[in-house]
A and B are shown apart, each in its own frame.
Chain A
């Protein structure tokens, strides 16, 4: 049973527009959420995180929204750039730090067209 789901395997967006990547989770114990970006032949790179005490966290062009009641989070990229083309993974953990393992979604491949 997948506890973290990214239902869109791919997304294509025009440069300058908004990219919205979605993630749903089923485990109500998850308390900390992260987004990673992965280029081919590289390891995942941490992008942004949010803890359950917040509903929004912003870092430059990247904003993550968390809706705990719906068990849903989304990553907004505005404006999208061709360099943002990568696979984006959503991950969740019962708490931040320590021995709590991350549970990952399968990823969404974002393509930003010039």
Chain B
């Protein structure tokens, strides 16, 4: 199955700053997915990132706040911009894993905004 390296694993950031999260996959994938898990909540899809095109954002998420890059088929970044304490969450990337008939997740980035 696919292996995803996600970093950083955690960070504490000042409000008003930005953090970029990276995900590297050990195989080429068409789409990568970015999720957020707020405390006590389910995982919520932020956007789907396709290589060579603009990311597709879910309702409630906008590109200015969560810009995404997808420069090639194995790598993507999510930036959390102009952070506020409400952005404190776990952020996860994911890819479809056809060997598993499911989706593989990165280990997550635990973000705390102070």
**One of A4, A43, A49, A98 near B42 (C-beta < 8 A):** A4
Chain B: interface residue total (CB-CB under 8 A):
29
**One of A4, A46, A49, A107 near B104 (C-beta < 8 A):** A46
**Which residue in chain B gives the minimum CB-CB distance to A42?**
B107
Residue-by-residue, is A35-65 near B (CB-CB < 8 Å gives 1, otherwise 0)?
0100001111110010000000000000000
Question: Known interface pairs A41-B110, A43-B92, A43-B108. Does A102 touch B40 (Cβ–Cβ under 8 Å)?
Answer: no
Task: Check B102 against A46 for contact (C-beta < 8 Å).
Answer: yes
Residues of A within 8 A of B92 (CB): 43-44
CA distance A44 to B42 in the complex (A): 11
Interface residues of A in 77-114 (CB under 8 A from B): 89, 91, 96-99, 101-102, 104-107
CA distance A99 to B55 in the complex (A): 12
> Does B84 interact with chain A (Cβ within 8 Å)?
no
Q: Which of B43, B96, B100, B108 has the largest count of A CB atoms less than 10 A from its CB?
A: B43
Chain A: interface residue total (CB-CB under 8 A):
23
How near does chain B come to A37, taking the closest CB pair, in angstroms? 11
Question: Known interface pairs A42-B107, A43-B6. Does A101 touch B102 (Cβ–Cβ under 8 Å)?
Answer: no
CA distance A97 to B92 in the complex (A): 18
> Does A21 interact with chain B (Cβ within 8 Å)?
no
> Does B48 interact with chain A (Cβ within 8 Å)?
yes
**Which residue in chain A gives the minimum CB-CB distance to B106?**
A43
**One of B1, B40, B102, B106 near A49 (C-beta < 8 A):** B102
Residues of B within 8 A of A36 (CB): 105
Interface residues of B in 14-46 (CB under 8 A from A): 31, 33, 40-45
CA distance A34 to B92 in the complex (A): 17
Interface residues of B in 61-111 (CB under 8 A from A): 92, 96-98, 100-108, 110
Q: What are 29 A-B pairs at a CB distance below 8 A?
A: A4-B42, A34-B103, A36-B105, A41-B107, A41-B110, A42-B107, A43-B4, A43-B6, A43-B105, A43-B106, A43-B108, A44-B92, A45-B105, A46-B103, A49-B101, A89-B43, A98-B96, A99-B48, A99-B56, A101-B45, A101-B48, A101-B58, A102-B43, A102-B45, A104-B42, A104-B43, A105-B42, A106-B40, A106-B41
